[in-house]
């Protein structure tokens, strides 16, 4: 890898550390190519990405970013899992690590906040952006639905009374 390629990798990693909602650092020693491909696919489906880079280049890219404090985690065979959604990458990494013991979560960063393994697990337990949006929409829509049923209720009550009166007269 020549100097220009290294500078490009450092710039890309700097962008990842700056723009991602969460970055999770994990050891992946012992993962087969098929397992790593499966991990990348799961991450992609959740809206995240996986990046393997030289630790030295990642540490250079971390300088002057909000995530600078996670530089100590970059030892050995590390993989970076990241996503714009602050929860997606953490959920996928936690679920994958539960199924495959070769992926070991070291920690990560959420903006300027450094996370240890317990912090990554806590972030993974939070609802995702889509789940939060769905619950907010449900809360907003519920009063409107209640109002519509309350407005329609008197009309249905009147219709029920009229049909009962018709049945009595017919009998």
CATH number at 18 reads 3.30.70.1730
| Mean local confidence (pLDDT), 108-130 | 84
Same domain, 39 and 117: yes
Residue whose structure tokens are 């009147």: 158
What's phi and psi for 69, nearest 5 deg?
-70, -10
**Domain end position, chosen among 126, 146, 162:** 126
| Mean local confidence (pLDDT), 59-86 | 88
Structure tokens at 2: 């020549």
| Residue 81: pLDDT band with limits 50, 70, 90 | very high
Cα separation, 28 vs 103, whole angstroms: 5
Calculate the average pLDDT of the chain. 84
- pLDDT above 60 (res 147): no
Of the two residues 130 and 61, the one the predictor is more confident about is 61
Q: How far is CA 43 from CA 15, 17, 102, 130, 140, in A?
A: 18, 17, 17, 16, 31
How many structural domains does the chain have? 2
Q: Are 81 and 27 in contact (CB under 8 A)?
A: no
Same domain, 41 and 90: yes
Domain that holds residue 162: 127-171
Least confident of 20-34, 71-85, 138-152: 138-152
Report the pLDDT value the prediction gives residue 150, as an integer from 0 to 100. Answer: 60
Report the pLDDT value the prediction gives residue 144, as an integer from 0 to 100. Answer: 65
| Residue 69: pLDDT band with limits 50, 70, 90 | confident
Report the pLDDT value the prediction gives residue 155, as an integer from 0 to 100. Answer: 62
* pTM for this prediction: 0.71
| Residue 146: pLDDT band with limits 50, 70, 90 | low
């Amino acid at each position: 890898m020549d100097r220009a390629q290294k500078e490009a990798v450092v710039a890309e990693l700097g962008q990842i550390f700056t723009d991602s909602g969460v970055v999770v650092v994990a050891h992946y020693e012992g993962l087969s190519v098929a397992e790593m491909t499966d991990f990348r696919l799961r991450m992609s489906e959740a809206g995240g990405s996986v990046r393997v880079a030289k630790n030295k280049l990642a540490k250079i890219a971390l300088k002057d970013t909000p995530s600078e404090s996670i530089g100590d985690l970059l030892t050995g065979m590390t993989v970076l899992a990241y996503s714009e959604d602050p929860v997606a990458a953490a959920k996928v990494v936690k679920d994958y690590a539960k199924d495959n013991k070769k992926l070991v979560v070291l920690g990560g960063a959420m903006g300027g906040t450094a996370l240890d393994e317990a912090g990554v697990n806590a972030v993974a337990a939070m609802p995702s952006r889509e789940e939060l949006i769905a619950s907010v929409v449900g809360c907003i829509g519920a009063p409107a639905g209640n109002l519509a049923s309350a407005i329609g209720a008197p009309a249905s009550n009147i219709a029920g009374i009229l049909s009962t009166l018709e049945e009595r007269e017919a009998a």
